[in-house]
C-alpha cells in the first residue's frame, strides 16, 4: 500500500509540476506584458511621442541623474496627461478584476460582478448629483459617499440577526441599484442641461478621460491596501467551494469572512468607480479568463486576475481614446465590445456555467 501511495504521489507530482510552472510562467509573462503595454500606451495618441521621450520624461521626474531633459511639450503630454491616465487605468482594471473574482466566490455565482451590491449605482447617483450642480471637482468624494451609502443600505437590508445571507445580499443590492438608478434618472430629467449631459453620459458608461495624478493616487492606494488585504486573506475563500456549511465545518468563521470580503469589495469598487465611473465587464469576465490557467486556488487567482485586468483596461482605454480620434469613446463601450465576444467564446467552451 505504501508503494502505491509513493507511486501515486510521484504521478500527481508529475502532473502537478507543469501546471505550477505554467502558472508562474504565465503570471510573469502577464507582468512583463503589462509593463510593455503601459509604456506603449503612453506613446500612442494624436501627438507623436517616442518611447525615448517617455523614458526621459519619467527618468527626469523621478530625479534620476544623467537623464537628458525631454522636450517640454512631450514632457507635459507624458507626465500631465498620459502617464496618470495609464496608471489609473491599470489600477482600476486590477481592482475591478480582484473584486469580481471575490464576488463570484463569495456569492458562488459565476455571473456576479463588483457592482452586485449596488455600489456602482450609489456612486453614479452621487456623481450625477454633483455634475448637475456644476461641482465636478467634488466628483470622486461624492461618488465614494454614494457608493458607501448604497453599500450600507444593502447590507442593512440583507442582515438578519448578525448573520449575512448572500442570497439576500444580492436581492437587496438589486433593489438598492434600481432605486439609485431611478434617483439618477430623476436628477438628470429635472436638472441636466447642455454640456453636463455629455459629462454625465461619459461618467455613467465609465471613462478614464478625467484621470490626473489625484485619481492615480486614489486608485493605486485603494488597490495596494484593500486589494492587498484580499490577496493575503484569499485562501479562506477556497473553503467556500461547497457552500457555507462546508466552509464552517472546515473551521472558517463564515459570517466574519463574508462581512470582511464584501466590505473590502465595496470599498475597493467604490474607490475605482469614484475615479472612472462604472466600467463594465472587467470584473465579470477577467476572472473567468484567468481561472483557466490559475486553477481554483484564490491565492493564485487574485494576483493573476489583477495583472490581466490591468493590462486589459490599459488596452481598452488606449483604444477608446485613439480609434475614433479626435472623438473619444467612453471606455465602458470598448470593454463591452471586447468583453462580450470573449464571454461568448468562454460560454461555448463551457468554461462558464458548466
Partner 1 sequence: MSILIDDASLELDGHLILDAITAELDAGAVTGILGPNGAGKSTLLRLIAGIERPTRGHVMLDGESVHALRRRDVAKRIALLEQSVDLATELSVIDVVLLGRIPHRSGLLGSFDGPDDRAVALRALESVGALGYAERSWHSLSGGERQRVQIARAMAQEPSVLLLDEPTNHLDVSAQLSLLAQVRHLGLTSVAALHDLNLAAAYCDRLIVLSDGRLVASGTPTDVLTPELIRDVYGAASDVIRHPRHGGPLVVYAMEGAISAQHDPRRDPLRTPQPSRV
List residues binding partner 1 (CB under 8 A).
1, 4-5, 8-9, 12-13, 15-16, 105, 108-110, 232, 234-235, 238-239, 241-243, 245-246, 248-253, 291, 295-297, 299, 351, 354
Distance separating alpha carbons of residues 206 and 107, to the nearest angstrom: 25
Contact 297, 23 (CB under 8 A): no
Q: Which is nearer to partner 1, 76 or 253 (CB)?
A: 253
> CB of residue 174 vs partner 1: minimum separation in angstroms?
20
Q: Which is nearer to partner 1, 5 or 62 (CB)?
A: 5
Burial of 325 (0-12, 13-18, 19+ CB in 10 A): exposed
Q: Which is nearer to partner 1, 62 or 354 (CB)?
A: 354
> CB of residue 333 vs partner 1: minimum separation in angstroms?
30
> CB of residue 130 vs partner 1: minimum separation in angstroms?
39
> CB of residue 4 vs partner 1: minimum separation in angstroms?
7
Residue that the C-alpha cell 437587496 belongs to: 172
Torsion angles phi and psi, residue 334, rounded to 5:
-65, -45
3-state secondary structure of 354: coil
Q: Which is nearer to partner 1, 249 or 323 (CB)?
A: 249
> CB of residue 240 vs partner 1: minimum separation in angstroms?
8
> CB of residue 226 vs partner 1: minimum separation in angstroms?
17
Contact 177, 118 (CB under 8 A): yes
Distance separating alpha carbons of residues 354 and 342, to the nearest angstrom: 16
Over its C-alpha atoms, the chain yields an Rg (Å, rounded) of 22
Distance separating alpha carbons of residues 184 and 195, to the nearest angstrom: 17
Contact 248, 63 (CB under 8 A): no
Cis ω for the linkage preceding 326 (within 30 of 0): yes
> CB of residue 169 vs partner 1: minimum separation in angstroms?
16
Q: Which is nearer to partner 1, 218 or 252 (CB)?
A: 252
Residue that the C-alpha cell 509513493 belongs to: 6
Q: Which is nearer to partner 1, 134 or 235 (CB)?
A: 235
Distance separating alpha carbons of residues 31 and 5, to the nearest angstrom: 38
Q: Which is nearer to partner 1, 25 or 73 (CB)?
A: 25
Q: Which is nearer to partner 1, 55 or 260 (CB)?
A: 260
SS3 of 257-298: HHHHHHHHHHHHHHHHHHHHCCCCCHHHHHHHHHHHHHCCCH
Distance separating alpha carbons of residues 191 and 197, to the nearest angstrom: 10
> CB of residue 331 vs partner 1: minimum separation in angstroms?
29
In Å, what is the CA distance from 314 to each residue of 92, 236, 267, 310? 9, 30, 22, 6
Q: Which is nearer to partner 1, 278 or 352 (CB)?
A: 352
Distance separating alpha carbons of residues 254 and 165, to the nearest angstrom: 10
> CB of residue 95 vs partner 1: minimum separation in angstroms?
21
Amino acid at each position: 500500500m505504501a508503494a502505491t501511495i509513493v507511486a501515486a504521489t510521484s504521478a500527481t507530482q508529475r502532473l502537478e509540476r507543469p501546471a505550477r510552472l505554467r502558472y508562474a510562467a504565465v503570471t510573469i509573462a502577464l507582468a512583463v506584458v503589462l509593463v510593455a503595454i503601459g509604456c506603449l500606451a503612453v506613446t500612442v495618441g494624436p501627438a507623436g511621442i517616442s518611447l525615448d521621450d517617455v523614458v526621459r520624461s519619467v527618468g527626469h521626474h523621478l530625479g534620476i541623474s544623467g537623464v537628458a531633459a525631454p522636450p517640454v511639450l512631450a514632457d507635459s503630454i507624458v507626465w500631465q496627461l498620459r502617464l496618470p491616465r495609464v496608471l489609473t487605468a491599470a489600477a482600476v482594471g486590477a481592482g475591478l478584476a480582484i473584486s469580481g473574482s471575490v464576488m463570484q466566490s463569495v456569492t458562488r455565482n459565476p455571473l456576479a460582478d463588483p457592482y452586485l451590491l449596488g455600489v456602482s449605482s450609489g456612486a453614479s447617483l452621487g456623481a450625477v448629483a454633483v455634475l448637475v450642480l456644476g461641482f465636478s471637482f467634488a466628483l470622486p468624494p461624492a461618488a465614494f459617499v454614494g457608493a458607501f451609502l448604497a453599500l450600507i443600505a444593502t447590507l442593512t437590508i440583507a442582515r438578519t440577526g448578525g448573520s449575512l445571507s448572500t442570497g439576500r445580499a444580492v436581492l437587496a443590492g438589486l433593489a438598492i441599484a434600481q432605486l439609485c438608478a431611478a434617483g439618477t434618472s430623476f436628477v438628470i430629467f429635472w436638472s441636466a442641461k447642455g454640456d453636463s449631459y455629455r459629462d454625465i453620459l461619459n461618467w455613467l458608461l465609465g471613462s478614464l478621460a478625467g484621470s490626473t495624478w489625484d485619481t492615480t493616487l486614489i486608485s493605486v492606494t485603494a488597490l495596494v491596501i484593500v486589494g492587498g488585504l484580499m490577496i493575503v486573506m484569499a485562501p479562506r475563500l477556497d473553503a467556500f467551494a461547497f457552500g457555507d456549511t462546508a466552509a464552517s465545518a472546515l473551521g472558517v468563521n463564515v459570517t466574519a469572512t463574508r462581512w470582511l470580503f464584501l466590505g473590502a469589495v465595496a470599498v475597493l469598487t467604490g474607490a475605482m468607480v469614484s475615479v472612472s465611473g462604472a466600467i463594465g465587464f472587467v470584473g465579470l469576465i477577467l476572472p473567468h479568463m484567468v481561472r483557466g490557467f490559475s486553477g481554483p486556488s484564490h491565492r493564485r487567482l487574485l494576483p493573476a486576475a489583477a495583472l490581466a485586468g490591468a493590462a486589459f483596461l490599459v488596452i481598452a482605454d488606449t483604444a477608446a481614446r485613439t480609434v475614433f480620434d479626435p472623438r473619444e469613446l467612453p471606455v465602458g463601450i470598448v470593454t463591452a465590445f471586447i468583453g462580450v465576444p470573449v464571454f461568448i467564446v468562454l460560454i461555448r467552451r463551457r468554461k462558464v456555467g458548466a
